[in-house]
């Protein structure tokens, strides 16, 4: 590739006569530039990566949460010791074992990809990560990657909870949850602008779920004291959070319409609590049943109000993935309930919720593939939603 450059007239001698003017020729300078198609591709790739790091946020770990919990559900359904799902055990092992490995590997691939992208964002866009931490919605999704890793660890097809690798990885993934607990829970009752009544929203349930997931995994490893500690930490703050959200002390909505799918987290927390307590006690006792029935009631209350989610369904957003993992958690709790309480009704509830969970995640995978161009919008409501002005009276 060549480029012709004509220098300025001032750089040359100005002729004094007409003859001299006719004989003066302004030279052309030819500069040969190297052809480099790879450099253009590199610039394009760099721009695309920069744009992706700017737009991606911790809320995208909703996808990994859904996939990891769905994998755990399939592992539970295919468990040979679960008599309530014995109809699935007629499937040859050579078929369902590869299916379970495929689901786990796919969830691992998505989680690793999201983790790498967010790690790059921490290095190159740290100011945006700091903005998420200071945002009343975005900060709660900082629990999501660690919850995803804990669930993926628990759903591993071959590693048992007693394995030394399981225990080592539990510490790697559980410690960040505890660190976030200390920071966020401390802000709830010490900082004026970060008080619970000022920042509480349905995504705050993720901090509770993180503790309960850690408690369940610790109970499976035989760490009774650790599991009780994490369970008590999560449940005490859940009670305070639920009362705060139930009373709507600020008197106004805290989330834009696009984020209303996160209302499903209302029944995700008690579902996870029932599973965690069952792992701690070794049986799905009365307390676990109470939590399961409560989550089932909240789920029924939400699905009976479809108009609440009407606006959020007009345009695809990654927030849609908030529909999946709470339903899967409820399905997991129903399998534990059906295993403890024999009968047609528990078995039917388990089948309905498990089927619904599978249908929801299939629909979300298809929607994400179909609307992939809308997956990274310029402005995401998860980070643009502002805190409402505090009212001086209690509504």
Please state the pTM of the whole predicted model: 0.83
Q: Which tokens in the block code for residue 225?
A: 């004291």
Number of domains in the chain: 1
pLDDT(142) > 70: yes
49 lies in a domain?
Answer: no
Q: Is residue 7 situated within a structural domain? A: no
Q: Is 393 exposed, middle or buried (0-12, 13-18, 19+ CB in 10 A)?
A: exposed
> Does position 23 have pLDDT exceeding 70, yes or no?
no
- The per-residue pLDDT for range 339-353, each reduced to its tens digit, is 899 889 999 999 999
Q: What pLDDT score does 28 carry?
A: 46
Q: How far is CA 4 from CA 25, 26, 33, 246, 300, in A?
A: 15, 13, 11, 72, 73
SS3 366: helix
**Does 157 map to a domain?**
yes
What is the Cα–Cα distance from 302 to 265, expressed in whole angstroms?
Answer: 11
Indicate if the pLDDT at residue 251 is higher than 80: no
User: Is 99 part of a structural domain of the chain?
Assistant: yes
How far apart CA 183 and CA 281 sit, in angstroms, is: 30
Query: What is the structure's pLDDT at 81?
Result: 65
62 in any annotated domain: yes
CATH code assigned at 295: 1.50.10.150
Average pLDDT over residues 326-333: 96
Q: Give the whole-angstrom CA distance, residue 312 versus residue 66.
A: 19
270 falls within a domain:
yes
The domain of 291 spans 57-373
Handedness of CA 276, 282, 288, 292 (dihedral sign): positive
Instruction: Identify whether 68 is part of a domain.
Output: yes
Question: For the chain, what is the mean pLDDT?
Answer: 83
Q: Is 310 exposed, middle or buried (0-12, 13-18, 19+ CB in 10 A)?
A: exposed
Residue 36 falls within a domain, yes or no? Answer: no
């Amino acid at each position: 590739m060549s480029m012709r450059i004509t220098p300025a007239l001032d750089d040359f001698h100005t002729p004094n006569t007409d003859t001299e003017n006719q004989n003066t020729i302004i030279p052309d300078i030819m500069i040969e530039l190297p052809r480099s198609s790879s450099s253009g591709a590199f610039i394009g790739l760099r721009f695309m990566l920069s744009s992706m790091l700017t737009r991606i946020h911790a809320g995208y770990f909703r996808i990994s949460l859904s996939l990891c919990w769905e994998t755990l559900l399939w592992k539970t359904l295919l468990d040979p010791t679960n008599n309530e799902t014995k109809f699935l055990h007629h499937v040859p092992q050579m078929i369902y074992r590869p299916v379970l490995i495929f689901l786990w590997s796919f969830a691992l691939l998505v989680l690793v990809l999201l983790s790498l992208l967010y790690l790059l964002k921490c290095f190159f866009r740290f100011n945006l990560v700091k903005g998420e931490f200071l945002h009343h919605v975005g900060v709660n999704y900082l629990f999501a990657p660690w919850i995803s890793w804990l669930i993926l660890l628990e759903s591993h097809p071959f590693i048992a909870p007693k394995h030394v690798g399981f225990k080592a990885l539990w510490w790697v993934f559980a410690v960040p949850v505890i660190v976030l607990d200390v920071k966020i829970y401390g802000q709830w009752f010490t900082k004026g602008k970060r008080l619970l009544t000022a920042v509480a929203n349905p995504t705050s349930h993720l901090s509770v779920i993180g503790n309960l997931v850690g408690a369940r995994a610790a109970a499976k490893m035989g760490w009774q004291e650790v599991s009780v500690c994490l369970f008590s930490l999560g449940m005490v703050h859940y009670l305070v959070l639920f009362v705060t959200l139930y009373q709507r002390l600020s008197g106004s909505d805290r989330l834009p319409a696009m984020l209303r799918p996160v209302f499903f987290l209302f029944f995700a927390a008690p579902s996870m609590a029932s599973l965690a307590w069952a792992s701690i006690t070794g049986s799905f006792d009365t307390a676990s049943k109470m939590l399961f029935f409560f989550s089932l009631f909240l789920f029924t209350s939400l699905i009976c109000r479809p108009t609440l989610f009407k606006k959020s369904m007009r345009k695809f957003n990654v927030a849609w993935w908030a529909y999946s993992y709470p339903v899967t958690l409820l399905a997991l709790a129903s399998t534990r309930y059906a295993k403890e309480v024999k009968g047609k009704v528990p078995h039917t509830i388990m089948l309905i919720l498990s089927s619904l969970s599978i249908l929801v995640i299939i629909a979300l995978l298809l929607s994400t593939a179909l609307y992939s161009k809308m997956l990274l919008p310029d402005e995401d409501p998860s980070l643009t939603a502002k805190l409402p002005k505090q009212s001086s009276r209690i509504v």
